[in-house]
Each structure stands twice: as C-alpha cells, then as structure tokens.
Amino acid sequence: MSSTQGEHIVSAYNDELTNLAQQIAEMGGQVEVAIENGTRALLRLDRELADVTVLADKRIDDMQRHIDEMAVSMIARRQPMASDLRAIVTAIHVASDLERVGDMAKQLARRSLKIEGLNLQPQFYNGVKNMTNRVQSQLKDALDAYANRNAAAAIEVCNRDDEVDAMYTSLFRELLTYMMEDPRNITACTHMLFCAKSLERIGDHATNIAERAYYLETGRQLSDDVQELHRAQLKA
C-alpha cells in the first residue's frame, strides 16, 4: 500500500468516527427537545404537542437503529484497535440510553392525555417542573462531557445525581401528602408520581452517559475509581 493510499484510508476512517460522534450529538439534541416538549405537553395539557412528541420518538428510534448499524459496520470493516473500538462501542451504548430517554419523554407526553379533566392543582406541577429543569441540565452536561471527553465534567454529573434522587424522594412525599389530604387528588397525583419517576430515570440515563464518557476518556470504570478513592480516604 502506498503512503498516500494509507493516509487516504486513515482519513476516511477518521471521517467515519467524526460522523458517528455527530450522529450522537444530533440524537442528543432531538432527545433534549423531546423532553422539553413532553413536559410542556404535560404541564399545559397540550394534545397537539403530545402527538408531536410521540411522533418524534419514532424518529429517535430510527436514529438509534442507524447509529447501531453504522457502529457495527465500522467494527466489521475496520477492525479497530482498543481505543477506537472503545469509542465505537460507547456510541452504541450512549445511543441506547438516549433512545430510552426518548421513551420517557413520550410517556410524559402521553400522560397529558390521561390527566385531562382530572382535579389538577398548580402545586402538583411545581415539583415536576423543577425536576424537569434539573434532569434537562444533567442530560445536557452529560452529553457535553461525552462530546468533549471531559472526565472531570463527567464526575460532576454523576455526583449531582444524588440531588436528583433527593428531589424525587421529596416530591414523592409531597404528592402522597396531597393524596392523603383529599381523596379527589389521588388520581392526578398518582399520574404526577409516575412523571416524577420518569424524570428520575432520565437522570439515571444521564448518569449512565456520564459514566460512559469517563470510561471513554480514562479507560477505567468510574464506580471502581470512586470506591478506590473512598478506601484511600478511609485509610488517611
């Protein structure tokens, strides 16, 4: 193989890797919009926006399938070495997490159709609204950490997941209180509980993506490193 030909192949390969990263970034963007629309459909009981979100989920599923196929074909054709293989496999996993987040957004949107006509009060919504903002920024930061291969930013996202869980627990208790105060609140608040659960799970997927970003950059599992740090601190 001539050197020019070799360079040509390497450059085509790099183009493919860049393209894969771009596809993930684009899918991430679509998923962020889906969360925005899903929650807005829920909070405003907006049927049209609910339909838009459900349709968008089909496109997100297609994007995942496409990324999957791209990644598998790259592995088969290029037989990549360790670090590139890691990048490609990580892309498969991140796309899978994003696809699940798309499902959650769809579920939020669909729930707007179920709560129409129920006894809804603004305070039922507030916690859900706050949690949405929080998990949106978690997902955004996780995707940024992934795109920029920033291990420190990835750790940040994982550390903040406890706050999302705490918000969820406190919202859970608050909604139970409304239910106990007045049985007419039960159905609406139950639906809100499930919305809160969907949001908490979006937070978990953001953490997964951040953990993948950490692994991509360092080659180590974040959970292993955290345990080691913890042991070192105990000894000190």
DSSP string for residues in 32-87 = HHHHHHHHHHHHHT-HHHHHHHHHHHHHHHHHHHHHHHHHHHHHHHH---HHHHHH
Tokens of 228: 């080691």
Which segments of the chain are extended strands (E)? none
Q: Which of 70, 135, 143, 193 binds a second copy (CB under 8 A)?
A: 193
Residue among 27, 43, 131, 179 that touches a second copy (CB under 8 A): 179
Cβ(45)–Cβ(115) below 8 Å: yes
By rule CB under 8 A, what string of x and - marks binding of each residue 139-178 to a second copy?
-------------------------------------x--
- Is residue 83 within the footprint of a second copy (CB under 8 A)? no
The CB-of-79 to a second copy minimum distance in angstroms stands at 5
Binding residues for a second copy restricted to 96-115, rule: CB under 8 A = 96
Binders in 40-59 for a second copy, by CB under 8 A: none
Q: Is 79 left (phi over 0), alpha (psi -120 to 50) or beta?
A: left
Binding site for a second copy (CB under 8 A): 68, 72, 75-77, 79-80, 85, 89, 92, 96, 176, 179-180, 183, 186-187, 190, 193-194, 197
